[in-house]
Amino acid sequence: MTIQQLENEIIKQKINDFTGLSGLASVRNSDIEEYFYGFMDWLIENKILEKVNNYSEVNLTLQYINSDDFIVWILHFGDVYANLRERYSEIIYPNGLDKSATNQLKQLKKINPKYSFLVALTHHLKSSQFYSDRDINKLDSLLKRIPNNNNSKIKRNSALGQALFDSLYTLSNYGIERMVKKSI
């Protein structure tokens, strides 16, 4: 085995550590549907929408979204490599990644693209370290910190609460826009 082959194996192993949808062009519709319903189940089980609504005092609903809206949302906000590049630039390399590192991430994306609902959901957080669905336990522990502003005289701010609201609002709007276009 050459050094290059060894490096490629290490890279492939690291890619496999990022969980989510892989290579959307080759993914079957049933896989996308399963991933979408897994996301929706996770939202319900963890009462994410309820927590976001209590924080924002808005009755946000996802009743109009389907897997098509979900996949558009994932493509826009859930690209694991774009998130990784952005987060590393902000956290580790404030002046930006060098060209070779940026090119390596682009190559990795070509080899094995990954899209994650957790990356999409936390996209609006300024300093998040959620790199794939594997980081979901980190988010689960943070969800308890979102304040409940429902019927509260003093409104408390939460970066996570606002980021989740912004993300779910965007997802909801994809479904609403599709429904409006259908009715015209």
Residue 25 is part of which domain span? 21-183
Whether residue 16 lies inside any domain: the answer is no
pTM: 0.81
Number of domains present in the structure of the chain: 1
- Please state, in angstroms and rounded to a whole number, the distance separating the CA atoms of residues 54 and 50: 6
Q: Is residue 163 part of a domain?
A: yes
pLDDT of 169 reads 97
What pLDDT sits at residue 81? 79
Question: Is 138 within a domain?
Answer: yes
Q: Is position 3 within any domain?
A: no
Q: What is the pLDDT of residue 80?
A: 81
pLDDT tens string for the chain (184 positions)?
566 565 556 556 666 666 667 666 567 778 889 999 999 999 999 999 999 999 999 999 999 999 999 999 999 998 887 887 776 665 555 566 667 777 777 777 777 778 889 989 998 887 667 777 888 888 888 899 999 998 888 999 999 999 999 999 999 999 999 999 989 8
Evaluate whether residue 15 is within a structural domain: no
Q: 2 in a domain, yes or no? A: no
Residues 6+ apart with CB under 8 A from 52: 60, 146, 161, 164, 165, 168
**Residue 178 CB burial class (10 angstroms; 0-12, 13-18, ≥19):** middle
DSSP state of 148: -
Q: Give the pLDDT of residue 3.
A: 61
Query: In this predicted structure, what is the pLDDT of residue 136?
Result: 85
Residue 6: predicted pLDDT:
57
Residue 17, token pair as written in the block = 């550590």
Within a domain: residue 10? no
- Whether 1 is covered by a domain: the verdict is no
Q: Which two tokens stand for residue 97?
A: 């990644």
